[in-house]
Chain A
Amino acid sequence: MVSKMVPHNSSSTTKEMATVIFAMLPGLFALGWIFGPGVWIHVAIVVPTAMVAEAAILLIRGRNPINELNDLSAILTALLLAASLPPLLPWWMTLLGTLFAIILAKQLYGGLGQNPFNPAMIGYVILLVSFPLEMTSWLPAAGIQGEPLSWTAASQVIFGTGPTTVDTLTGATPLGGLKTGLIQGLTLQESLLKLPNGLLAGPGWEWINIAFLVGGLILLFTRTISWHIPLSVLGGLFLTALIFNLIDPNSYATPLYHLLSGGIMLGAFFIATDPVTASTTPMGRIWFGVGIGVLDYIIRTWGGYPDAVAFSVLLMNMFAPLIDHFTQPTIYGGNREARP
């Protein structure tokens, strides 16, 4: 209990989570437009699953589930996961990922605020490692090429109830295709040309990234997040990409390509900024972000997976306590000996 009526700026965890959820909408709509209604089917799976899983564990832990569910953090985690999954992932994989995220990565650590790793990314990575094929099968960007996927087709694939199967529809992501091309010894230009509709950053993805950027700007302007992390993630990626692009423009894509492909905007504004798992000092947040940007580039370019936001975020989550330790701000009055 607060012992007296202290004036409060009436910020609340619930409000902040609600703002983040709201700011995700442009990105989700872009996903839905480009890749068809699969995204919304995922949303319909993950949100209730997350809430039920969270409530169940809270009950087991002897807590009042209503009090903690209404902080909306479970819904946010679920949405972040839904936005990262390939749009036609079988429903039970989505469900499994959600359970991993909420139960293993969040509640088993003690719930909101206690988990060292970003729950949505844990769910994503577990799926990626367990089902590498399904997790890297993306649809061609239908929204751009005319032919949008119907709700029926999407649900037939996701729930495995009809003739349409994943193989007839999906392909690699542009980032994946680019990497395959490069491995096959083609130059960057040739690899990009081989991709369907090789625009700036692969078909459709630039729109998704722009939409998440818009959402991110909403978060910045409502002061829900501070600029430190997103700017340093994007800056870290941009600079690393720029350096390699300048060294050898034939093998390394341009910085702009990197900034607009994969899940980088979602990662920079929505995932890396999860306060619970990020560094908490101002300088620490910058190092944290730069680390994600650079790692993302390294794993994208030389690692075994086409995109790397999830791995980079989790790796930096691991370093967050260390970063915090070394980036303590100088207190008022200098860093003298603490006095009894």
Chain B
Amino acid sequence: MRQTLHHFHGGVHPPELKELTRNLPITPFKNRGKVVISLNQGIRAFNRPIVQVGDSVVQGQKLSECFNPLSVPVHAPCNGTVIAIEQRPFTHPSGLQSPAIVLQASGCGPTPSKELMAIETLLKGITDEEMISRIRMAGIIGLGGAGFPTAPKLLSGTQQSIETLILNGMECEPRITCDDRLMRERPEQIIHGIELMNHLLQPKEILIGIEDNKPEAIESMRKAAANSKVPIEVVRCPTLYPSGGEKQLIQILTGKEVPSGGLPHQIGILCQNIATAHAIYPAMMEQPLTHRVVTVTGSGVSHPGNYEVAVGTPINELLEECGCDQPVAVTVGGPMMGFSLKDLNSPITKTLNCLIVEPEVPPVKTAPIRNCIRCAACSDACPANLLPQQLFWATQARNFDDAEQLHLFDCIECGCCNHVCPSQIPLVDYYRHAKGVLRNQQQEKIKAEQARQRHEFRDARIQREKEEKARKLAEKKAALKAKEKRQPSAGENGEKKEKQAAIEAAIERAKAKKAARNAATEQDKE
């Protein structure tokens, strides 16, 4: 038993509101309509489709190629026909469009057997490289939030020595219950995934962190862990938002802090979400990640629940199934960190864990936003131990460089400061905006640098060409002079020839002069 748990600074206790869905089992959602597979899987690089309109595809078929090492391919979640490859609304705070493959669903492939194969049999003859490549080819990315691809994370883990493998089952955001259900219903598959990662990373210890508001999940995971040959410890952690933030969880379990701007593997720790672990076992069986569990909650639906949904399902189709028959406002993700959805046609993505559906009412009069009274409630609550009030003053005054000095980029956008601010200031909005501006500035700088290099290169080329021309001219002149010198020795009967030569030379000279003039004007033009 782990004796000491550590604390992180600040944190808040928002109402959990998990009761609505925490006891509802995972229900499969059958696609009948369209499926929109976005080629933008949360990474800047887009995939290139390898199917064409009219092709029929089967469940699990790879639909795209990816070239960026940090991206993963996408797969068909069901049988069907490609009916379009076009721009579609994407599930993103900005509501931007993204290229997508649109399928008309026509049924499902065979359901994989529920029996789990023993790890030893499974891994017979498979190298580590092959394992990582299968994980990548199955399209696995972190299912907990940021969506960082799992394969490169594991790869960097194999290259460093990882002491602690942490599995994040905290699910600290209010309302969300999908990980809770996975841990209660499919602990064996999660444990299998952990064993596979253990095989790759060979850590000294494996810890599963679960908040104490999920006693059933703790129980179920403990039972499954006890059956495993690998020592896996399930750690019960006090409920405190945002304990499920990667950095906070690492601090709680190990007392270590990820260096600012660094990654956990630099301090010998690798952290994976339990839903990601759950997806790794099928990946080894070469079944790609095409479905995920999504919590649908809120008073805008009559059948809230935890649905296992195909990635790519348009959100409005899922909502219809959940009994949503009124205009609604949808928040994607948890109430603390999620964003409001612009277009209900946007698809379910791999990182989407929760939809909060509330009836769309005329905007209620919320408490007015007041001036900051410098009460420091926000800095007392900030888990990154920043000074949100000072960040706010800096970003409000558009002193973005000052904000950077105040460690803007260490802000994890958890929203604790918003939660406690008595003046109701939407602080995180300011930080997100400032981060965006600074990132753009950075991009601009890179672009300017590239432009400068291009310009210098061009100048150098022109200079080189000029020199080349001048050299050629000089050579010609020299050749002419040599010829002139040679002329007198041509003999007396060469008088006529001499004359001719003189004329020719004159012509040559005129030509050369003209050429020089031309060159000069050309130079001027340039």
The chain A residues found within 8 Å of chain B, CB to CB, are: 1-9, 11-13, 15-16, 67-68, 71, 73, 110-114, 226, 275-276, 278, 280-282, 285, 324, 328-340
Contacts and interface: CB of A to CB of B under 8 A. Distances in A.
Nearest to B416: A9
A278 B375 CA distance: 9
A332 B257 contact: yes
9 contacts: A5-B335, A5-B358, A8-B424, A112-B370, A226-B376, A280-B374, A280-B389, A331-B386, A340-B404
A112 B373 contact: yes
B248 to A, nearest CB: 8
B interface majority secondary structure: loop
B467 interface: no
A8 B419 contact: yes
Contact of A275 (B251, B375, B408, B415): B375
Given A3-B426, A7-B335, A340-B442, A334 B260 contact: yes
Interface of B: 8-9, 12, 14-15, 174, 247, 251, 257-262, 329, 331, 335-336, 338-340, 358, 363, 366-377, 379-380, 383-387, 389-390, 404-410, 415, 418-424, 426, 429, 438-439, 442
Contacts of A68: 370
Contact of A11 (B247, B336, B377): B377
Given A275-B376, A332-B8, A340-B442, A13 B422 contact: yes
Contacts of B247: 332-333
Contact of B439 (A281, A337, A340): A340
A130 B335 CA distance: 55
Given A280-B379, A332-B258, 16 more contacts: A1-B363, A2-B426, A6-B415, A11-B420, A12-B424, A13-B422, A113-B374, A276-B374, A280-B374, A280-B376, A280-B390, A332-B410, A333-B257, A336-B262, A340-B404, A340-B438
Given A4-B338, A281-B379, A332-B251, A67 B385 contact: no
B261 A278 contact: no
A2 B366 contact: yes
B409 A340 contact: yes
A13 B375 CA distance: 9
B387 A281 contact: yes
B390 A324 contact: yes
Given A331-B385, A332-B385, A13 B14 contact: no
Contacts of A114: 371
Count chain B CB atoms within 10 A of each CB in A71, A328, A333 and give the residue with the most: A333
A215 B342 CA distance: 49
9 A-B pairs with the lowest CB-CB distances in the bound complex, closest first: A113-B371, A333-B260, A275-B375, A339-B261, A336-B260, A7-B14, A11-B422, A4-B340, A332-B384
A337 B407 CA distance: 9
A4 B257 contact: no
Nearest to B386: A331
A244 B502 CA distance: 114
A335 B260 contact: yes
Nearest to A277: B374
Contacts of A4: 329, 331, 335, 338-340
Contact of B261 (A5, A275, A285, A336): A336
Given A3-B340, A333-B258, A339-B261, A15 B379 contact: no
B260 A275 contact: no
A339 B426 CA distance: 24
Contacts of B404: 338, 340
A112 B371 contact: yes
B373 A7 contact: no
A314 B373 CA distance: 17
